[in-house]
Chains A and B, each alone.
Chain A
Amino acid sequence: MSKKKKESCGEDDFNPSIVGFLCRWCAYVGADLAGTSRIKYPPTIATIRVPCSGKVDPVYVLRALLDGADGVLIAGCHPGDCHYRRGNFFAYQRYRLLKAMLRALNLEEDRVKLEWISASEGGKYAEIVKKFSEEIKELGENPLKKLGTISEEDRNE
C-alpha cells in the first residue's frame, strides 16, 4: 500500500477513488442508462446499490472516507419522486447534518456530495461523475487514507 501511495503523489497520476451510493429506483437505473447509451465518464466511481437514498446512514459515508475513499456521492430520486414517499428528504437532512459535522471536525466537507438523478438522466449522471472527479482531483488525496484508523477489531463490530 505505502509504495502505491508514493507513486500517486504526483498530481497528474492521482486517480480519485469515489464511492457512490445509488438509489435502486432512480440513480442506479440512470447510471445503467449512461451505460446503455455509451456515455463515457472517468473510471473513478464504483457504486453500491441501496434501496433508497434514505437508507444511507451517515456512518456509511464516514466509513467510506475512513476506508480511504477520496469522495462519496449519494444519489437519490428528485424531491417528491421517492419510491418510499420521503426517503430522499431524510437523505437531505442527514446530508446537511453530516456536512455540518465534517465542518466541525475540520474535515473536507466537499468530499461528500448529494445529487438527485432520475432513471432517465443517464447524461446527468455521467456529467456529475465527471465534475465530481475533477473537484476531488483539486482536493487531492483523502488525508484520512493515511491514518488507517479502523482496526480489524472495529471492523468486526
Chain B
Amino acid sequence: MNRRIGVYICHCGNNIAATVDVEKVTETVSSIEGVVVAKHYLYMCSDPGQDLIREDIKRYGLNSVVVASCSPLLHEKTFKKVCESAGLSPFLYQHVNIREQCSWVHDNREKATEKAIKLVVAGINRVKQHVPLKTRKVPVTPAVLVVGGGIAGIEAALTVADAGRKVYLVEKEPSIGGHMAQLDKTFPTLDCSSCILTPKMSAVGQHENIELLTYSEVVDVSGFVGNYIVKIKKKARFVDVDKCTGCGTCQAKCPVKVPNEFDMKLGMRKAIYTPFPQAVPNVPVIDTEHCLFFTKGICKACEKLCPAKAINFEQKNEIVEVKVGAIIVATGYDVFDPSVMPQYGYGVLDNVITSLEFERLCSPSGPTVGKILLKNGKEPETVAIIHCVGSRDKNFHEYCSRVCCMYSMKIAHLIKEEIPDAKIYEFYIDIRAFGKGYEEFYRRVLSEGVTFIRGKVAEVTDVAEKPEEEGKLIVQFEDTLLGTVKRIPVDMVVLAVALEPRKDSKEVAKLFSLNLSNDGFFLEKHPKLAPVSTANDGIFIAGTCQGPKDIPDTVAQASAAAAQALSLIDRGEYEIEAFTAEVNEEICSGCKACISVCPFEAITFDEEKKTAVVQEELCKGCGACSAACRSGAIQHKGYTHKQVFLELEGLTSYP
C-alpha cells in the first residue's frame, strides 16, 4: 500500500506547547517519506480539530493518520472514531503520547522537543505497517453479577433488575445488608438505618429478576467482557432454604451461645442463627465451629424441633456456575482495628469502644436494646469521642475516611438524645462537614452543647492522678487552639475508627483482575471521568471498595455502576479484541512452544497439518505466544515484530 500519512500535533492549549516546540516537531516530521500533510493545532480533540483531520483525509486521500497529543488512554478512541467517520479503518491510526510522558514530565524545552520528535517518528514508522483488521462481534449475555450485598450491591442489583435484566447477587455472609444494617441512625437526616435499608433488602429478596446467593463466595471468573463464566461456592447452610419458614424455633432451642459478630461480639447468638432479625433471606445457618453436632456429634435439637423439617445435616458445599455479561464488585470495607494503637487502650480498658460497637449499643435491635450503657450497666455521664483513629495518620492510613467527622457528631447527638445531661467531648483535627446538609448538622450539634476540642488525644488511661479521676478513664490531650496539655476524666471513650480495605481485597482483586491503588482500595479507570469502570472492560466497582465514602455517595456510585453495566449488556453485541494472535502455517514448525505459554488455552494443535491453531474467541491478545515463537510463525496482530522494530527504529534513529 502506498502510504499517504497525515500527522497532527496537538498543543493541548499550553499543556504541550509550553514545553514542546510543536512547530519544530511538525516541520521535522513533514519531510518523512510517506507524510503528505503535517499540522499542529491548539486542541486536536475539539470539534474543529476533529474536523481538520476528517477534511484532510478526504482532501489528501490519506490512508494513515498519526495524532500526537495526550495519553492514548484518553483520546485514542476519539481519533479512531474520527478516522472511521471519514471512511478510514480505525486500525490505520496511531496515537502518540507527548503530554503525560513528555511535556508534563520534562522542563528542558529543547530536550523535550527532541523526545517528542522521536516519539512522533516512531509513530509514523509504526503506522506504515498497520493494516485494516477485522473486528469481531460476540453476543453479550444479558445478565449481571453483583458481588457484595451491602447497600452498594443492593442498590446496583435493584437498578439492573428493575430494568428487566437478570442479576446474580452474591453475599459472603448469611444475610445481605452489609455494614449499613449494623448502623443505628444515619447522618445528617437521622433516618433510622434499618428503616430505610430493610425495604430495599426485602425488595431484593422478592425480586423476580434477582437470584440471591447468600453465604456464598465467587471462586473463579473466566471468559471475557460480555461473556463471563463465574463459579460460585454456595456454602452449606445445613438448612433447606425452600422448606424453612423462618419461624425461629431452632434458634430459640439451640443450647450453644456464641458472641454475635454482627453485634461486634457485644451480644450473643446461637450456633444456628440469622445474624439479625431482619435478615434476608430469613433462613438461619449452622455454624459448624460451635454446633454440638459438628463438634461432639450430639444434640440435633434443631432437627428434632423444626416444624418444617428444614434442617439437613447432610448438606454439602455446592459450586454453581453462572454466565453474565458484566460484573459489579461492591465488596465494601473493614473497620480499622484500634488495638494496634496501645495509647488508646482499646481491648485493654473497659468502656473504650469503636464507633461501630457504639452503633450496636445504640441500636434498638442491638445487645442492649438501644440503651447506651457502660460495662457496669450504668449510663455514662461523660463521653469522649476521638476522631481520626487510623485515618490521616502516616503510621496507619494517610487518607481521610470521610465519614468519621459526621458519624462522630451523630454519635454525640444520639447520646444527647438518650442522656440529655451527658457531657460530650469531641477531639478533632479538622471538622470536615462537606456534604449536603452536613455543615448544618455540625451547627446543630454545636448548639446542643457538645464540646469540640481541636487536638489529637495522646493517651487514654485509667491511672488516676487526682481524686476526681478515680475509677474513670482519663483522656490526656493537647488543646492546639489554646496550646495547653490537659486531662479530662470520662466514663466512655468512642474511637472514630477509619474505614480500610477489606482484608481479602488482594485476593478479590486477583479474582477479578482489578488493580489496587496505593491506599489498598480498588483502582478505578479514571478518578474523575471513569470512577466506576476498571481497567478490565465489563467489570465495574461501586461503594467503599473503591475508597471511603458515605451512604449517599455509595448509592450514587452503585446506580452509576448499574447504568454502566446495563449500557454494556443491553447492546446485545460486543466488539472484542481484534489484536489476537495468528499462525502462519507455512512457517510454523509445530514445536508447540506457544501452546505451553498461552495462559488462556487458546492455542490448539492441528495433528493433520502439524501446526498450531489459534482459537480467536479465546485469545486475549497478550502476545506471550509471539514472544515464545522462535520462527516468527505466530504473529500478534496490531503488535507484529515488524511494527515493533519500526517503532524502535524511530525511537533510536533521531537525532
Interface residues of A in 1-51 (CB under 8 A from B): 4, 15, 17, 19, 25-26, 29, 31-32, 34-36, 38-43, 46-51
> Does the CB pair B599–A31 fall under 8 Å?
no
B597 within 8 Å of A by Cβ? yes
The answer on a CB contact under 8 Å between A55 and B651 is no
Determine if B599 and A87 form an interchain contact, defined as CB atoms under 8 angstroms apart: yes
Bound complex: CA A87 to CA B516 (Å): 19
**Cβ B118 vs Cβ A56 within 8 A:** no
User: Do the beta carbons of B622 and A54 come within 8 Å of each other?
Assistant: yes
Q: CB distance B648 to A63 under 8 Å?
A: yes
B645 interface neighbour in A81, A85, A155, Cβ under 8 Å: A155
Interface residues on A, range: 35 or more
Give complex CA distance A87, B598 in Å. Answer: 9
Asked if A102 lies at the interface with its beta carbon under 8 angstroms from chain B, I say no
**Interchain CB contact under 8 A, B71 and A35:** yes
Give A41 to B111 CA distance when docked, in angstroms: 12
Q: How far is the CB of B545 from chain A (nearest CB, A)?
A: 15
B579 touches which one: A51, A63, A126 (CB < 8 A)? Answer: A51
CA distance A60 to B644 in the complex (A): 8
List of A residues within 8 angstroms of B649 by Cβ: 67, 155
Proximity string of chain A (70-92) to chain B, C-beta cutoff 8 Å, 1 when within and 0 when not: 00000000001101111100100
Contacts A46-B118, A55-B639; is A38 near B105 (CB within 8 Å)? yes
B297 within 8 A of A: no
Q: Shortest CB–CB separation between residue B266 and chain A, in angstroms?
A: 37
Q: Which of A40, A60, A83, A87 contacts B648 (CB 8 A)?
A: A60
Residues from chain B with a CB closer than 8 A to the CB of A85 are 599-600
Q: Which residue of A lies closest to B107 (CB)?
A: A40
Given contacts A38-B105, A46-B651, A90-B597, contact A51 B623 (CB under 8 A): yes
Which residues in chain B, 58-106, are within 8 Å of chain A measured between CB atoms?
71-73, 97, 99-102, 104-106
B513 within 8 A of A: yes
Q: Which residues of B contact A64 (CB under 8 A)?
A: 648, 651-652
Partner of B523, one of A69, A120, A155: A120
Nearest to B115 among chain A residues (CB) is A43
A136 to B636, CA, bound (A): 31
Roughly how many angstroms separate A26 CA and B514 CA in the complex, as a whole number? 11
B628 at the interface (CB under 8 A from A): yes
Contacts of B644 in A (CB 8 A): 48, 50, 60
Q: Are A43 and B624 in contact (CB under 8 A)?
A: no
Is the CB–CB distance between A57 and B627 below 8 Å? Answer: yes
Contact indicator A51/B115 (Cβ below 8 Å): no
- Name, among B108, B111, B651, B655, the residue most crowded by chain A CB atoms within 10 Å (CB to CB): B651
Q: What is the bound-complex CA distance between A30 and B523, given in angstroms? A: 12
B371 within 8 A of A: no
Please judge, given known A-B contacts A119-B523, A155-B649, whether A40 and B622 are in contact too, CB under 8 Å.
Answer: no
Q: Which residues of B contact A51 (CB under 8 A)?
A: 579, 621-623, 636, 639
Cβ A40 vs Cβ B599 within 8 A: no
Considering the complex, give the chain A residue whose CB is closest to the CB of B627: A57
Of all chain A residues, the one with the shortest Cβ separation from B624 is: A54
Task: Answer yes or no: B535 CB below 8 A from chain A CBs.
Answer: yes
Neighbouring A residues of B579 by C-beta, 8 Å: 51
CB atoms of A19 and B652 under 8 A apart: yes
Once the chains bind, are B535 and A25 in contact (CB under 8 Å)? yes
Q: Are B648 and A19 in contact (CB under 8 A)?
A: yes
Q: In chain B, residues 15-72, which have Cβ atoms closer than 8 Å to a Cβ of chain A?
A: 71-72
Give the complex CA separation of A86 and B623 in angstroms.
12
* Whole-angstrom distance between the Cβ of B3 and the nearest chain A Cβ: 16
Q: In chain B, residues 596-635, which have Cβ atoms closer than 8 Å to a Cβ of chain A?
A: 597, 599-600, 620-624, 626-628
**In the complex, what residues of B have CB within 8 A of residue A40's CB?**
105-107
Contact of B104 among A38, A42, A120 (CB under 8 A): A38
When distances are taken between beta carbons in the complex, the residues of chain B under 8 Å from A118 are 515-516
B100 touches A83 (CB 8 A): no
Chain A residue nearest to B15 (CB atoms) is A35
Residues in A whose Cβ lies below 8 Å from that of B104: 35-36, 38
Q: CB < 8 Å: which of B105, B513, B655 contacts A4?
A: B655
Cβ of A119: which chain B residues have Cβ within 8 Å of it?
515, 523, 535
Is A52 interfacial (CB 8 A cutoff)? yes
Shortest Cβ distance from B577 into chain A, in angstroms?
A: 9
How far is it, in angstroms, between the C-alpha of A36 and the C-alpha of B103 when the chains are bound?
10
Contacts of B102 in A (CB 8 A): 43
**Judging by beta carbons under 8 Å apart, are A126 and B648 in contact?**
no
Assuming the contacts A31-B101, A32-B71, A43-B112, asked whether A48 and B623 have C-beta atoms less than 8 A apart, the reply is no
Q: Is B510 an interface residue (CB 8 A)?
A: yes
Q: A43-B112, A120-B515 are in contact. Are A84 and B620 (CB under 8 A)?
A: yes
In the bound complex, how far is the Cα of B622 from the Cα of A15, in angstroms?
33
Q: In the complex the two chains form, is B645's CB within 8 Å of A63's CB? A: yes
Q: Is the CB of B645 within 8 A of A35?
A: no
Chain B residues contacting A48 (CB-CB under 8 Å) are: 122, 644, 647-648, 651
**B residues within 8 A CB of A67?**
648-649, 652-653
Chain A residues, Cβ within 8 Å of B328: none
The smallest beta-carbon distance between A68 and chain B, in angstroms, is 5
Q: Complex formed: what's the CA distance from A69 to B108 in Å?
A: 21
Point out the residues of chain A lying under 8 angstroms from B324, CB to CB. none
* Chain B residues within 8 Å of A87, by CB: 599, 622-624
A41 vs B73: C-alpha distance in the bound complex, in angstroms?
21
Give the residue of A17, A35, A56, A126 whose beta carbon is less than 8 angstroms from that of B627: A56
Taken together as a complex, chains A and B put the C-alpha atoms of A97 and B104 apart, in Å, by 36
A17 and B623 form a contact (CB under 8 A): no
Does A94 make an interface contact (CB < 8 A)? Answer: yes
Chain A nearest Cβ from B633, distance in angstroms: 13
Please report the C-alpha to C-alpha distance between residue A15 and residue B114 in the assembled complex, in whole angstroms: 12
Whether B589 sits at the interface, judged by CB under 8 Å, is no
Min CB gap B345→A, angstroms: 35
| B residues near A50, Cβ cutoff 8 Å | 623, 639, 644
Query: Contact between A55 and B112 (Cβ–Cβ < 8 Å)?
Result: no
Determine whether B536 belongs to the interface, using a CB cutoff of 8 Å to chain A: yes
Identify the B interface with A (CB < 8 A): 71-73, 97, 99-102, 104-108, 111-112, 114-115, 118-119, 122, 509-510, 513, 515-518, 523, 535-536, 579, 597, 599-600, 620-624, 626-628, 636, 639, 641, 644-645, 647-649, 651-653, 655
A/B interface sample: 22 pairs, CB < 8 A = A17-B651, A38-B105, A40-B105, A40-B106, A43-B106, A43-B114, A50-B644, A51-B621, A52-B622, A52-B623, A52-B624, A54-B622, A55-B622, A55-B624, A55-B636, A80-B510, A84-B599, A84-B622, A87-B624, A90-B627, A94-B627, A119-B515
